[in-house]
A and B are shown apart, each in its own frame.
Chain A
Amino acid sequence: MADSPFDDAFAGLGGASAQRRAAYDRFRSLGLPSRRQEDWKYTDLAGLDRARLAPAATGPAVSAPVAGLDGPLLVLTNGRVDADASRMGDLPAGLEIVTDGEPASTGADNALAALNAAFAPQAVHVRVADGAAIDRPLQLLYRVTDADACAAHVRVRVALGARAALTLVERFEGDASAYWQNQVLDVAGETGSTLIHALFQAEGPRSVHSGLTRVALAGGARYRRFDLQTGAEIARNEVHVAATEAGAHADIRVAQMARAGQSLDTRSYLDHRVADTTSDQGARAVVDAQGRTAFQGKVHVARDAQRTDAQQQSKAILLDETAEANTKPELEIYADDVVCAHGATVGQLDAAALFYLVQRGLPLAEAKALLIEAFVADLFGDLDDDTLRDAFVAAAQVWFGKEPS
């Protein structure tokens, strides 16, 4: 096997555990994903081979929780828990958060997960006890600073007991250094549990962001993801949901806003393994000059997974001649008694609506901003938490340069 630019970095860890070594070997045999792979045709990670190698050092503490949200806050700076910046006192009953120095090696077939398992300095375990409905959101802030040519690997595991409920808010951000942040999030939802997962990807402008979320849902468990992607130069997110028992349900809402050399790619894999499970995916992309997005939404219905109901809608709006939007809504179905459908549209802002607003006196730029805001906000409409919903809209407003209202 040829040398990998990651070899030195791995050697630099010094005395890595057998587990880390196994994960690294796994990564070496898989190699970095390339555009020749069907699922990676819209994202080019070749640059990672050349730079962003060293594990990120601990950086200065910064905290920037989502405005208006109280509740516990855990900050990870450059991949490590930053206790000073965190706000972890007084955890609600039933919520437990533990940090582990040795992340479990579960790279499986995913090269980036294997690399994460080899390098992640810590793993954060979030546990919600059976029957505990946590009423305040848990915020996780992943921040990278002063980390040119560094990689920050973060690993989080969320386990929800039977009938447990949690709102998890994640925010990724960083400065203008050229770093790579690579997250793996594993979620296990026991019977009847609910996880509401709000995700803000607002990484620094020269960064690479990759995220892999793996969710396993037991009977009647729900996973609801609300995901806004505005940051990073290259972002690649994967969401795998396995519905393993009847009644499991997943909602996936992804909004991507890209411009100026940004490439944002999200791939979902909704795996309906047994009968009577449901999913609903909605994606929105807004692409301005020199931006590129891809949404690859896949639904897999296993043999005998009868009465699966899987819906998917994706919409993209191009704002400029140099923008590019890609959509690949995919169905792979092996059971006959199913309701599976998808719809996709790509176009521009509705000219009639735009004219209507301009006629009523709005300047063109403002009218556009309003329509874009509505287009994105629509996706987060069924998020019950007002503060969170407002935070999404505000983040979208920041993207198109409007002062958040």
Chain B
Amino acid sequence: MLKIDDLHVSVDGTEIIKGLSLEVKPGEVHAIMGPNGAGKSTLASTLAGRDAYEVTAGSVHYAGKDLLALAPHERAGEGIFLGFQYPVEIPGVSNLNFLRTALNAQRRYRGEPELNGADFMKLAKDKAKDLEMSLDMLKRFVNVGFSGGEKKRNEMVQMAVLDPKLAILDETDSGLDIDALKTVSQGINALRGSDRAILLITHYQRLLDYVVPDHVHVLADGRIVRSGGKDLAHELEAQGYAAAVA
């Protein structure tokens, strides 16, 4: 599904990702862990196509296509969802309006019919209910005045409605209390399926207690330095990155 080959990425002329390779198959959940500054968020932003993240070498293929040749919104249309570490506030734009516009833009991209108002409302309400988000919150402006936990939950509602093929979740667990962490985990687990893949980017192991990964990779200084099964996460937690990487 996703094949990253010897990827090099620079930001403002400084190389952050220094030759990273990774393959993710449908149905798999991969966790990417690593110390601060290892390049985890850079990887997420690069895959989503953010400006200023300059790919200097290597390739990324997604569902048989050259991902790097696609614009950010085209990548979204292809089914790539990035859960933001810091979800952005958009004053004046309601969550519902935002989500419907985004969903229909993606459907148009894929040549699917747009969803009408009633069908969309039903979908949005159902997904929000699963994630314990009220209709009131859906009517509020995108992330404006939301607590950290609410923002992350809102990301999960968006993910559920947009129904991506590949979800890249960048520190989705940061700043959550235990209840919110459980809710968010439910949202992620609900997305698991044989035709989808999830890339969890996290600093801590605790999310992985709730969303059990198939593979764990350690990212340090722009490269994957170790890969293993779910136990690797516990080892990292117990010994710290320095020991694991050494």
A contacting B, Cβ–Cβ less than 8 Å = no
Please list the residues of chain B having a beta carbon within 8 angstroms of any beta carbon in chain A. none
Which A residues have a C-beta under 8 Å from some C-beta of B?
A: none
